[in-house]
Structure 1
């Protein structure tokens, strides 16, 4: 048996952790939305500013989950946490920016080229945390709970003891980021099943008590 022990939603104007609003977008701010969260939460990771939006979303949500569940850092070995992410647009937003850089400047931008694969977000999170466990980034037509359920259970039946999973869809003005932590052992947490995953994915108010 496994459990959903923490989760984070990022939308175009609100950031939630375990159902609690922790940040709302200031439309009058000169800073981009993700930069506002970064500053408000007092994160210190200069590489954040070089990331594309997909990686920034993954960074912010994973760091907020770590704050909500610090045991993810202390309770597991560096190869015991799996990363399982998906979205529907891959790295399309950065791909277009990369194409534009070539058309406008006559040469492609190396700093953008780095992020023209969606699984780079996994690398950013793994490098930051020195996590060397299993990882997967899938491109799916929509959020598919059974993909996360089946793949996570396979990994948790092996050497993985926890999994950080996420749906990261960043394209244009669309921001739909949902990360959740699954652990084998927990108290006062939701059992990791289809019904509860849909509940957590679809509602911002916390069902965890």
Structure 2
């Protein structure tokens, strides 16, 4: 890996590891602490894309994917109160969602990077975050995909409840997905601040 990319690689690896750990701890009724760290993976991808191009961003993504796979493999060997911390469906959902969403993020960012400075990171993060949430929760918990891991009981995630406690009735995992998506969208907006600051600093260094 080119040394120039090292900060991005380390940042992505740190976010992935931290999110895999923090996802084990609940925050309120619908979220885990991991929901607040994982979205910054999109910030790292967008920074790498802006500074070094799409190829560099994809390299960092693949490092994050490999780290995530390792974390999942470790999680399958750790027994929690209700079985392994990471089931096969969660592992498949996590890896698929990360890789697809991040690569789509790169494509959208690259297509919009010559426009207003905020358009590319915001649009790519929103689309990527939406895909990430939809893919992960559907693969990991939907009853329609029970064939992926028949021995894994996901009936708890398919209990019919009002969405977020007050909306229309839907499986519990839909509420979890909506809450997670809301955090991702919020952080996509917040991340514009460090994105702008870091890119501006980098540009000044390049012109010095």
TM-score normalised according to structure 1 size: 0.33
Q: Higher helix proportion, which one?
A: 2
Q: Identify which of structures 1 and 2 has the higher relative contact order when contacts are C-alpha pairs closer than 8 Å and 6+ apart.
A: 1
Q: Higher strand proportion, which one?
A: 1
TM-score normalised according to structure 2 size: 0.33
